[in-house]
Amino acid sequence: MNNFFKIGLLLLVLSGFAQDKASHTVYFDLDKDHLKETQKDLLCDFFQKIDSSHIESISVFGYCDDRGSSLYNIDLSNRRVQSVEAVLMRLGIPQKKVITLEGKGRIMVNKDTISDLNETRSKNRRVVVFVKKTLQSQYFMGIPKLYTEFQFPHTKGDRIYLEHVKFETGSSYLDLNSRIILDKTIAYLKNNPTIVFEIQGHVCCTPPQYTDALDKVTRDRKLSYNRAKAVYRYLVMRKIDPSRMTFKGYGNRFPLGKAVELDRRVEIVIIKS
């Protein structure tokens, strides 16, 4: 019985750290190393659907079609990778999680066996982003606790609801009072430099066909993302190390079930204490 118990315990431990992978491909125009806005949006949407607290590592590989010299295409594929890397940094992805950035050069094709050579070449002008995720069960994370302000000590999974950081309907603008409240949060974070966290934005009052709200300034339907990004930018401006934090919009998926204005909120989730 003792051996069966040990095996069962081992399986429980392994299940608590199940790994998953996801990938996304962006495409480039002929001889170009910059992404079109449509491709940037698709890349951003891909990362919006991933809980950044579960990202273990990211690998980025660039490719070219078969035209041009080998050296030219190696250089072009590396520049394409750098273009994607810049987008990841703007999304708040920690640099240390990007473990591979590599241009692979051209992808050779057999022209005699391909029915649509132009289409094949267009698909080969690409960068592929691979995300390795670690999914931890609540058995290891502990049951997350919701706080209205930072306390000490915090553990992984704790959620701090910044209830006094207010947003107007359709807005991601941080008013003066919200910045004053954030300054108290910043003081706590500076006194506890080992804390790593995710900034999570939320919205209220959206039509049923939408998962996020419209930002009345930018006119994109990424209001929760923009709110999280506004807090992230303010923390960076106040000298909080960007490598300690990520940000993400969760739309209307997690209402508090109270007054709707309380859902126009930002939360901070502890990833590492």
pLDDT tens-digit profile of 145-188?
677 777 777 888 888 888 888 888 889 999 998 999 899 889 99
| pLDDT confidence of residue 19 | 54
What is the reported pLDDT for 233? 95
* Amino acid 94: pLDDT: 81
pLDDT digits (tens, 9 = 90+) for 185-211: 899 999 989 999 999 999 988 877 788
- Percent of the chain topping pLDDT 90: 48
**C-alpha angle 151/97/221, rounded to 5°?**
75
Q: Tell whether the model's pLDDT for residue 8 goes beyond 50.
A: no
**How would residue 4 be classed by pLDDT, with cut points 50, 70 and 90?**
very low
Domains of the chain: 18-135 (3.30.1330.60), 140-272 (3.30.1330.60)
Strand 159-161 and strand 146-147: pairing? Answer: parallel
Mean pLDDT of the chain, nearest integer: 84
Q: Which residue has the higher pLDDT, 252 or 261?
A: 252
In the prediction, which pLDDT does 48 show?
79
pLDDT of 141 strictly over 70:
no
Pairing of β 126-136 and β 55-64: antiparallel
Q: What is the pLDDT of residue 165?
A: 87
Rounded to a whole number, what is the distance in angstroms from the first to the last CA of the chain?
38
Residue 129: name the closest of 45, 223, 228, 249 by CA. 45
pLDDT at 13: 41
Mean pLDDT value of segment 32-60: 87
Q: Pick from 144, 183, 182, 162: which is nearest to 270 by CA?
A: 144
pLDDT of residue 196: 92
Question: What phi and psi values does residue 147 have, to the nearest 5 degrees?
Answer: -120, 155
Q: Choose between 265 and 257: higher pLDDT.
A: 265
Question: H or E segment at 17?
Answer: strand 17-27
- Strand 126-136 versus strand 17-27 pairing type: antiparallel
Specify the 3-state DSSP secondary structure of 73. Answer: helix
Task: Assess whether pLDDT exceeds 60 at residue 136.
Answer: no
pTM value is 0.52
Question: pLDDT of 209-254, one tens digit each?
Answer: 788 888 999 888 999 999 999 999 999 999 999 999 999 999 888 8
Answer whether 60's CB lies under 8 Å from 102's CB.
Answer: yes
Are the CB atoms for 105 and 63 separated by under 8 Å?
A: yes
Q: Does the pLDDT of residue 63 top 90, yes or no?
A: yes
Greater confidence (220 vs 50) lies with: 220
User: What is the pLDDT confidence band of residue 9, given thresholds at 50, 70 and 90?
Assistant: very low
Output the six-digit token pair for 211: 């998962």
